[in-house]
Amino acid sequence: MLLVHDIAQSLNLIRQHIRTLADCEQLPLQLAGGRILAAPVKASEDVPPFCRSQVDGLAVWAADTFGASETIPAILAYQGEVQMGRPVEFRLQPGQCAYVPTGGELPAGADAMVMIEQVEDLGDGLRQVSQSVSPGTHLTRQGDDITAGTTVFRAGRRLNATDLGTLAALGLATVPVVRRPRVAILSTGDELIEPDTRPGPGQIYDVNRYTLAETVRLHGGEPVISGIVRDDLTILQQALGQALGTCDLVLVSGGSSVGTRDYVAAAINSLGEPGVILHGIAVKPGKPTMAGVCNGKLVLGLPGHPVAAWFMAHWLAGPVLAWLQGSQPLYKPTVQAMTACRIPSNHGREEFVLVTLQNGDQPLAVPVFAKSGLITLLSRSDGYIRIPRDCEGLPQGAPVSVYLL
């Protein structure tokens, strides 16, 4: 149970304990962007709801135009103009035509559009068409986009801008989405102080609450900043118990020193079954990460170092937030680059190496070598590369995928 897993193994282990939140809420479309569908969406009507023109032009019987050209045009009887958004009061007979603007409804009988550029008004209610069109030309038939009854989106779909458009086209003004997971964020450490106080000797500001809250927000969670917890088992048990009672996931950062680390594990084990399921991950930075489950709720014990805490929140809490919403983890975009120099790594752990990107024929990934634990490291980097656990580093000029920050 307490073996050192890598990130993928850790996620597999954690995933077994995650259940999708059962609660959903009905949201107006304009608030549903980025949210996860709680139920499949079936089309109750055809989209488009009628046969629409894609151009400004004449609706025709295609057969009337067969063989028509500049030299041998077809002559059709003009029946009038279709008004946007109004019922079409007439039916087109063979030999007849009608003007339809882009997006307008074709009169019954018509089965093709001729662009207005190919039409000449001969007067006396006659129009000359100098092009042969086949049935279906320049029109979108009723249901071409979505047929009534089809499942448009499955549950778990993360709604993007155009998905909202699709839902709107179906006449939906609201949509059922999974409730945002509430994520408690606790920072442990006797040295930590609130942002609006002045630090005394040996004291530093609590940094992780902001980094973690924003990371949670970006992954679709609702951060609940639960403040600073002193290095005391009883106080930690109390704070953790409260967080577990009100939230769906708990992030505890800190406990970098041996004593505090033990408190976090002890508190998790005291608050429900099965307790700690994972203690230590084969990754640098991030090794002292732990995971516990108390009666179905996950607690992630993250390192105190801001950089390590961010990496672990991004790689572990991110997927957990997707699973809690019944969805898939967010895609992490990468850029292809070449290492600018040799990058050693032989820690027996997977390593995240921060880099800046320099432009060139192929972008160069330049490692940011600096002391660990500096909060500004991430702000000074463009991204990072992952060096696998069993790799002794990368030579200069090696192709690498750079994850963007």
Among positions 191-210, residues that touch a copy of itself (CB under 8 A) are 191-193, 195-196, 198-210
Question: Binding to a copy of itself by residue 374, rule CB under 8 A?
Answer: yes
Which residues in 206-265 contact a copy of itself (CB under 8 A)?
206-215, 217-218, 223, 225, 231, 256-259
Residue with tokens 């040799």: 342
Nearer to a copy of itself, 12 or 102 (CB): 102
Start-to-end CA distance of the chain, whole Å, equals: 32
Burial code (b: 16+ CB inside 10 Å, e: under 16) for 339-358 equals bbeebebeeebbbbbbbbbe
H/E stretch holding 208 reads helix 208-218
In angstroms, what is the minimal distance from the CB of 296 to a copy of itself? Answer: 28
Least Cβ distance, residue 144 to a copy of itself (angstroms): 6
> In this chain, which stretch among 58-66, 141-149, 232-240, 385-393 interacts with a copy of itself, using CB under 8 A?
141-149
C-beta of 320: minimal distance to a copy of itself in Å? 16
Q: Which is nearer to a copy of itself, 139 or 294 (CB)?
A: 139
| Contacts of a copy of itself in 276-305 (CB under 8 A) | 304
Q: Which parts of 301-340 interact with a copy of itself (CB under 8 A)?
A: 304, 306-307, 310, 331, 333-336
- Residues comprising the chain, all counted: 405
From the CB of 13, what's the least distance to a copy of itself, in Å? 25
Which residues neighbour 115 within 8 Å (Cβ) at sequence distance 6 or greater?
Answer: 55, 56, 57, 131, 138
Interacting residue with a copy of itself among 20, 83, 130, 142 (CB under 8 A): 83
- The smaller minimum CB distance to a copy of itself, of residues 12 and 376, is found at 376
Q: Considering only CA atoms, which of 116, 180, 149 is closest in space to residue 46?
A: 149
Q: Are strands 119-123 and 126-129 parallel, antiparallel or unpaired?
A: antiparallel
Tokens of 259: 């004593």
Q: Which one, of 332, 283, 285, 334, lies nearest residue 307 by Cα?
A: 285
Binding mask 15-44 for a copy of itself (x = CB under 8 A): --------------xx--x-----------
- Which of 146, 235, 330, 368 contacts a copy of itself by CB under 8 A? 146
Is position 163 an interface residue for a copy of itself (rule: CB under 8 A)?
yes
Are residues 178 and 20 in contact, defined by beta-carbon separation less than 8 angstroms?
yes
Q: Residue 231 carries which DSSP code? A: S
CB 251 within 8 A of CB 184: yes
